[in-house]
Structure 1
Amino acid sequence: MSFLSRCNATLFLSLENDNKKQNKDVFVKCGLGVLCSFFLVFLVGVPSVYGSKSEQSVWSVGLKSRIDYLIKRSGISRSHLSIWVSTESFADQLQVYDLNSQSKRVPASLTKVITGAAALRLYPENHKFVTRLMSPHPIKNGVLKGDLYLVGGGNPSFVSENMWDLVNELRRTGVKKIEGQVIVDDSLFDSVRFDPSRTQQRVNRAYDAPVGAMSFNWNSVNVYIRPGSSKGKPASVYIDPENEYYELVNNVTTSGGASASVQLKRVPVGKNKERITVSGKIGLSSDEKVKYMSVLRPDYWSGFNLISFLKQRGIEVQEKVKLGKVPGKSRVLSDHESKPLSEVVKDMMKFSNNYVAEMLTKNLSLMGASKERGTMEGGMHRLQKFLTERGWKASDFALVNPSGLTRDNRFSAFAMASLLDDLRDEFKIYPEFLTSFPVSGVDGTLKKRLVGESTKGWMRAKTGMLTGVIGLAGFVKSKKRPLFTYVFIFNGKGSQTIRARELSDEIAYSLINES
């Protein structure tokens, strides 16, 4: 209720409780009316914490000049940039800076802002994904009399400690031996591991991991390398987690000094295993090095890891993994619920995890579907609908991949800024949405950017990067001005990629320190 409304309500009650004293009532009515008018005029005349519109106009002109100067100094063509900056102005958004903001650009991982927002908006609060161990067979005297099914529930965050929970719960049922085989049910999603919407050049890096309804440790493996006991000796190489999915070939030798140059190469072995060859040199004085590599078959990778965990827990099991669908009359022997959806979105946003983005999107395709398998096409349709329902015109954007690992996505800086501002009014999801962003100088992909005391913690923004593409989108808080919405997209020469990232930070620095 507004201040003036509260005054009028008080006046009404006063008149109702003493309607016999008409002259006094008239006096009260007039007196309170004048009083309310006085306070209304007083409040309107009080300077806003944001400053008057004329004051905002003055400092925004100065800020615009500084941004223009930074762009000129960078040597980057203005035609290669799309920038939008706005801030609160009473009940409206005040445009502070606009450079080609309506131009559609390749956004890279800024796309994940859409994916994360849609997941938070479309799923129920605290939604969780469930992974299960099931079997149609009985347990007698500690022996499971048949196959054990590992049933994937599309959990993007199922990692080693979760596998331990699953296996420990199974052990508490009294199971000590499995007579059958481990069978992985990966049928919740389709069988497409690498969607064609991704860039077509496959690499063995963890950021290019495949997806599957049954996935484990972000479908990547850690390879650790330590120097040997003396120069010329073989280095020590370890895979974590260790299991029978990988064959390891160690061709790394120990050299002098402290530098390291190590390469990983993988090849499929049959249809269900891989061989990793680790080559190169590591200095005798070098610290331990770690390399991250994606796997090719999430289903078999998950199954062999389950076997390893079962054996470590003292449960006897065959070293074989098959694929198949769990029989309809099977019962649940143990299950594991994922962390809440908001935490999964945070994993994706903070570290720009492409795998999580695609896993969430295939899950979105299942909403409201009774028999369909999760598909990228179905999930992308939901993301596109999420945008059009918020006023985006279909002709104003192209969205083919939810992670941004493509050059076929297109949208404008202004459209992204509009989405960010729109979500600030969504009370049920905005707190979780905001906390999912990397924080300048603190965590995620912004941990090593804007680390100074004057800038640390004052920006929450999603980053994006491909060769010739830089993106930054989110919120910046000036210490003396209201909250800025800031979107920066560079599409230009590959040789200017790093300079463009520096420019995006320089503009953010100016916003934070705006006085």
Structure 2
Amino acid sequence: MLGRPRASFPPRTGRLTALSALSGLVIAAVAASLAGPWDNGQRTAERERAAAQVRTGDADHAEKAPGRDDPQARHHAPEVLAALGPADAAPGQTGARAGAPRPTEAGLADVLGPLLRDRSLGSLRAASVWDVASGEGLYGSRPGTSAIPASVTKLATGAAALSALGPDHRIATVTRVKGSTVYLVGGGDPTLTAAELDQLAKDTARALKNKDKEVTLRYDTSAYSGPVRHPIGVNDNLAPVTALMVDEGRLDDSTHGPAPRSGDPAGAAARLFAEKLGKHGVKVSGPARSGQAPKKAGQTAVVYSAPLGIVAERMLTNSDNDIAEHLARQVAIAAGRAASFSGASKAVAAELASLDLPVKGASFADGSGLNRRDHASAEFYARLLVAAGDPDHPELRPLLTGLPIAGFSGTLDERYADGSGAGFVRAKTGTLTGVNTLAGTVVDADGRLLAFAFMANGTTDRDAAQRTLDKMASAVAKCGCR
């Protein structure tokens, strides 16, 4: 074996449960794709199961819970922990495959070695495969070598945020009133929508004693500090990082992916809020201006983001850069550090170190992975995913449930077109010029849940490198590798 994680991730005994037939999994994955992985009940059910840490002997993990938008809706998604079956599963028990063997290092080397030698993977190729049930390393090729992870960095950001704040934490946007001045105070919610801002205006107007009186409007972004521009500069992949924005500062109707962004998201949000106040009977005199709310100004109204677990899933599925940068700053706030790029970098690294992950030599220069100063090893990301499957860390479960499903959702929806790993591979993608990475989970042919991280730097053909990484994940899924 290549080693075990340290004390935070104790080895666990677990029998393995096989996944359902491909047809059933495809149907489930399609349902997940239509509903959105953060809209189904899987996340809640898995978190509650993990928190309880009870093994009942029932191998059926297809739990249900109300959908977020439709209380009557029920959606299935592939059970990302299906291979972590009950420890007391008896041989022949329905739905269980007791004693499923672990892949061997030699077996994994046989299938991954030739693919790692493919020239499409550039000048630096690293791989790490771990067994989630036992928490043991199974295979590594330069597993401890630091590499640029690109958007796989979002796994680290999500882990730090979920660990520091918990999956039920919500980010608040509030109004405060002092005299005839209304302060719109941003808490750093990048998912704040125009509809939610309208509700905040309505509640604020209702709270004011005289809706017809004139007020001045100030907007407060003091929750964050430092430069608002990412080092990449003006870019359609990311809005200025400010504590107040609506719809990620998008200037079109898109909900994810690159889009033209406002150069002043906070000012735009304040101007929209002034319009909403007017709609609800409160006249705003003069333009909205930046200004910090007095400490003695009482809270008048508030709207909250979705729970952090849902927000983290959305970040991972769509590789949302805005959410990632804001979650990194939320970690900084929780740690009492400056909510800036620098403060967030230090806070995220410290939080990940507290999880006993191998962060030596790693760098988390930003939350999104757009910064080429981000570095970490393949072993770091594989072990992070092992931690997310550990019953001792139920707060990290959204890292697994938010992973895109190969061939069906998020950034993997158009990959695995040959069907080789479709539905069976769940992974976070990473792509920059010269950088291609993939980290996630597969259930192998024997029903064993494995975590993997594959990293390639110095690539010259993005599409060819992606195809090779996809082949690697599919190869692990298809073999027993013994």
Relative to the length of structure 1, the TM-score reads 0.68
1:325 aligns with 2:292: yes
Alignment of 1:30-429 (within 5 A): 49-52=98-101, 56-57=103-104, 61=106, 63-72=108-117, 74-76=118-120, 79-87=123-131, 91=134, 93=136, 95=138, 97-137=139-179, 146-173=180-207, 176-195=211-230, 198-199=231-232, 202-205=233-236, 207-222=237-252, 292-313=259-280, 315-318=282-285, 320-367=287-334, 369=336, 374-392=339-357, 395-425=360-390, 426-429=392-395
Is 2:429 aligned against 1:460? no
Match of 2:63 in 1: none
Alpha-carbon distance, 1:93 to partner:
2.4
Counterpart contact for 1:474–1:486, Cα < 8 Å: yes
* Structure 2 residue aligned with 1:503: 468
The structural deviation recorded for 1:62 is 5.1
Pair 1:478–1:52, CA change in 2 (3 A): closer
Separation in structure 2 between the aligned mates of residue 317 and residue 506 of structure 1, nearest angstrom: 59
Structure with greater strand percent: 1
* Runs of 4+ displaced beyond 6 Å: none
CA distance, structure 1, for counterparts of residue 370 and residue 470 of structure 2: 22
Query: Secondary structure of 1:293's match?
Result: coil
Shift of 1:126: 1.0
Aligned partner of 1:284 in structure 2 is none
Question: Which residue does 1:469 correspond to in 2?
Answer: 435
- Matched residue type, 1:93: E
Between the aligned partners of 2:184 and 2:474, the Cα distance in structure 1 is 49
185-194 vs 385-394, which deviates more?
385-394
Structure 1 187/94 Cα, relative in aligned 2: closer, same or farther at 3 Å?
A: closer
Task: Output the amino acid matched with 1:134.
Answer: R
Q: Structure 2 stretches of 5 or more lacking a match? A: 1-12, 14-89
CA deviations 1:106-153 (Å, max 9, x no partner) are 11111111110111111145111111122123xxxxxxxx22211111
Q: 1:269-296 CA deviation, whole Å, 9 max, x = no partner?
A: xxxxxxxxxxxxxxxxxxxxx9821222
Native 8 Å contact 1:177 1:317 kept in 2 = no
Would you say the 8 A contact 2:162–2:395 is kept in 1? yes
Q: Distance in 1 between matches of 2:292 and 2:234?
A: 30
Q: Cα–Cα, structure 1 residues 346 and 75, in superposed 2: closer, same or farther, change >3 Å?
A: same
- Alpha-carbon offset, residue 475 of structure 1: 0.8
- 1:455/1:321 Cα in 2 relative to 1: closer, same or farther (>3 Å)? same
State which drifts further: 175-184 or 301-310: 175-184
Task: Please report how far the alpha carbon of residue 388 of structure 1 lies from its aligned counterpart in structure 2 after TM superposition.
Answer: 2.8
How many residues in Structure 1 have an aligned counterpart in Structure 2? 386
In the alignment, the residues of structure 1 paired with residue 267 and residue 134 of structure 2 have an alpha-carbon distance, to the nearest angstrom, of 55
C-alpha distance in 2 between matches for 1:432 and 1:153: 22
| Aligned residues of 1:474 and 1:487 also touching (Cα < 8 A) | yes
CA distance in 2, matches of 1:402, 1:331: 32
Distance 1:92 1:358 in 2: 30
SS at match of 2:199: helix
Amino acid at match of 2:227: V
CA distance in 2, matches of 1:385, 1:400: 13
**Counterparts in 2 of 1:437 and 1:322: CA distance versus 1, 3 Å:** same
Q: Alpha-carbon deviations, 1:32-55, whole Å to 9, x = none?
A: xxxxxxxxxxx99x99835457xx
Cα deviation for residue 94 of structure 1 reads 5.2
3-state DSSP of counterpart to 1:222: coil
Residue 446 of structure 1 deviates from its aligned partner by: 1.5
Question: Which one has the largest radius of gyration?
Answer: 1
Deviation string, structure 1 residues 10-53 (Cα, Å, up to 9, x no partner): xxxxxxxxxxxxxxxxxxxxxxxxxxxxxxxxx99x99835457
Q: Evaluate the alpha carbon distance shift between residue 402 and residue 71 of structure 1 in structure 2; reply closer, same or farther with a 3 A threshold.
A: same
Aligned to 2:457: 491
Letter in 1 for 2:98: V
C-alpha displacement of 1:158: 1.1
Q: In structure 1, what is the Cα distance between the partners aligned to 2:121 and 2:421?
A: 27
In structure 2, C-alpha distance between the alignment counterparts of 1:496 and 1:454, rounded to whole Å = 22
Structure 1: gaps spanning 5 or more residues = 3-42, 138-145, 225-239, 241-289
- How far, CA to CA, are the matches of 1:473 and 1:155 in structure 2? 27
Aligned-pair CA distance for 1:454: 5.7
Cα distance in 1, alignment partners of residues 458 and 364 from structure 2:
20
Does the 8 A contact of 1:136 with 1:331 survive in 2?
A: yes
Shift in CA distance, 291/509, structure 1 to aligned 2, threshold 3 Å: closer
* Offset of residue 184 of structure 1: 0.5
Tell me: CA distance 1:508–1:155, structure 2 relative to 1, closer, same or farther (3 Å). same
Higher normalized contact order (CA 8 Å, seq sep 6+, divided by chain length) = 2
- Cα distance change, pair 77–405 in 1 and its aligned pair in 2 (3 A): closer
Alignment partners' CA distance in 1, 2:370 and 2:325 = 10
Amino acid aligned to 1:183: R
1:83 and 1:162, CA in 2 relative to 1: closer, same or farther beyond 3 A? same
> How far apart, CA to CA, are the structure 1 residues paired with 2:134 and 2:173?
46
Q: Give the structure-2-normalised TM-score.
A: 0.72
